[in-house]
Amino acid sequence: MVTRSVYVVLFVALCLSFAGLPVQEAEGQSSGQQVGEAPEYDESVLLSRVRQLTLEGNRAGEGYFSPDGTQMVFQSEREAGNPFFQIYVMDMLTGETRRISPGQGKTTCAFFHPVTGDIEFASTHHDPLSLEMQREELEFRASGQEHRNAWDYDPEMEIYVADADTGELTRLTNVRGYDAEGSYSPDGEWIVFASTRDAYGRELTPEEQQAMETDASYFSEIYTMRADGSEQTRLTHVPGYDGGPFFSPDGKKIVWRRFQENGMLADVWTMDLDGSNQRQITDFGAMSWAPYTHPSGEYIFFSSNKYGFANFEVFIVDFDGKKEPVRVTTTDGFDGLPVPTPDGKQLVWTSTRYGATARQTGQLFIGNWNHEKALELLEQAPPRKSSSDSR
C-alpha cells in the first residue's frame, strides 16, 4: 500500500515558506532527523557582499540567468488582483523589471534559452477557471485561513515559451497533468521537465487515488522533449516525487531531486540523458532538494534542512557525490533554490533572512561566491557516509 506522510506536505509548505504563507507543523509531529553540528566557519567564508535583489511584492524566488549574465528571470507574487506567481525579467545592470507572463493564472519555473534568449515557463493562464481561482484565493487569504500545502501541482499547468523579441507565447505541452520545472540543455536543443501526466492517463488503484488526494507530487516523474515540444520522453519510473531537473554544464548529465516513496526524505541524484545510470549523490538523512551545478561542473549546489526541520540551508557537494556535502549558508530561516551566475562568481538564492516581513516573506538575495575556497573545502571534506551510519 502507498503510504503518504504528513512530512511531504510539510516539506512543500516549508520550501514555499518564502511565499509568505505561514506554516504550522502538525501537532505531535517532528522531522525525526538528527540535527548536525554547526560548521566552524561563518557563511562569509564562501559568500561576501550579500545583498537583497528583490523587494517588491509578497514574495519572489527562483532566479535564473541569461547566458551573458545581464538578465535574470524569476517568479514573484506582485500583481494586483492575482495572488499567484507571475514571471519577470530583471536587468542586472539597471534593476529594471518587466513581466513576461500573461498576468493571469499561476506561473512557475522560468528558464532562458541559451542561444535565442527565449524564456520557457509553466502557466495555467489558458484555464477558463483561472480568474475564478484567483478570486477564491484572494478571499481565502483575506479570511485569515492558511493552506496546509502551499503548492497544489495544478493539472492545468503547461509549459510555454515566450519569444525574446515579440513576447509571443507558444505552448509546448498539452497533456492533462502538472507539466513544469523545465530547463534548457546547454545547446538549447532539449528541455528537461517534471510531469504528473501518468496519473491522469490511466485508472489509479485505490491506494494511488489516496496518494493523489494527499499530494499529487507523488506521481511526478522526469521527462525530456525537444525545444519545440516534440519527442516527449519519460526518464524516471520510481514511486515518489522526482522533480526540479537541470542539465549539467557539459550537457551530458541531468541532476534532479528524488523523494523517498513515503515522502519523508529527499536527495540529489544524477543520470544520463536517456535516463540510464541513475546515481544518488547525497545521502543526508534529510530533505535535500533544488540542485543546480556550478558552471565549472565540479560541484552541485542544493538546499537541505540537515541542521533543523524548518532551517533550510544551502550546501555544495562534489558532482560525483564521493564526499560529504559542505554547508554554505549559516543564517537561520529559509535559504534555498541556489543558482550561480554564468561566470560562477556570484550566487543568487531565495531567503527569509533579515526577517523581510512579519510574515517571513522570502526574496531573492545575491552574494559574491568564493569558488577557490569551495574547492578547498570540498577537497577537505570526508568521504560520504550513509545517513544510517550516524543513527
Q: What angle do CA 76, 77, 80 make, to 5 degrees?
A: 135
Residue 280: CB atoms within 10 Å: 12
CB 59 within 8 A of CB 76: yes
What would the pLDDT profile of 282-294 be if each residue is shown by its tens digit? 998 999 999 999 9
> In the chain, what is the straight-line distance between the N-terminal and C-terminal CA atoms, in Å?
27
* Structural domain boundaries in the chain: 66-247
Residue 234: CB atoms within 10 Å: 13
Question: What's the chain's Rg over C-alpha atoms?
Answer: 19
What residue spans of the chain are helical by DSSP H? 6-15, 130-142, 206-214, 371-380
Per-residue pLDDT averaged across 263-271, rounded? 94
Confidence bin at 307 (pLDDT 50/70/90):
confident
Show the cell assigned to 36. Answer: 548536525
Report the C-alpha gap between 1 and 104 in whole angstroms. 39
Show the cell assigned to 220. Answer: 511526478
DSSP character at residue 106: -
Using the predicted structure, report yes or no on whether residue 151 has a pLDDT greater than 80: no
Per-residue pLDDT averaged across 203-227, rounded? 94
- pLDDT greater at residue 215 or residue 22: 215
| CA neighbor of 296 nearest in space, from 232, 226, 344, 357 | 344
Residue 303: CB atoms within 10 Å: 29
Alpha carbon distances (Å) from 237 to 88, 198, 232: 33, 10, 15
What would the pLDDT profile of 75-85 be if each residue is shown by its tens digit? 999 998 999 99
Report the C-alpha gap between 310 and 324 in whole angstroms. 21
Query: What rounded mean pLDDT belongs to the chain?
Result: 88
Show the cell assigned to 184. Answer: 534548457
| CA neighbor of 35 nearest in space, from 390, 314, 308, 332 | 308
- Of 66-70, 146-150, 281-285, the one with minimum mean pLDDT is 146-150
Q: What angle do CA 59, 143, 30 make, to 5 degrees?
A: 65
Using the predicted structure, report yes or no on whether residue 378 has a pLDDT greater than 50: yes
pTM comes to 0.89
Question: Residue 150: what pLDDT?
Answer: 63
Using the predicted structure, report yes or no on whether residue 367 has a pLDDT greater than 70: yes
Using the predicted structure, report yes or no on whether residue 271 has a pLDDT greater than 70: yes
Question: Residue 311: what pLDDT?
Answer: 86
Classified as helix, coil or strand, 301 is: strand
What would the pLDDT profile of 345-365 be if each residue is shown by its tens digit? 999 999 998 764 434 579 999
Using the predicted structure, report yes or no on whether residue 315 has a pLDDT greater than 80: yes
Classified as helix, coil or strand, 310 is: coil
**What percent of the chain is predicted at pLDDT more than 70?**
86
Per-residue pLDDT averaged across 238-244, rounded? 95
Report the C-alpha gap between 63 and 46 in whole angstroms. 20
359: left (phi over 0), alpha (psi -120 to 50) or beta: alpha
Using the predicted structure, report yes or no on whether residue 20 has a pLDDT greater than 90: no
Residues 6+ apart with CB under 8 A from 353: 331, 332, 333, 335, 365
The maximal CA–CA distance of the chain, rounded, in angstroms, is 56
Residues 6+ apart with CB under 8 A from 315: 288, 301, 302, 303, 304, 306, 325, 326, 327, 328
Question: Residue 21: what pLDDT?
Answer: 30
Classified as helix, coil or strand, 229 is: coil
What is the chain's percent helix, strand, coil content, to nearest 5? 15, 35, 50
Alpha-carbon dihedral sign for residues 260, 382, 251, 160: positive
CATH class of the domain comprising 66-247: mainly beta
What would the pLDDT profile of 108-121 be if each residue is shown by its tens digit? 999 999 999 999 99
DSSP character at residue 227: T
Show the cell assigned to 279. Answer: 546515481
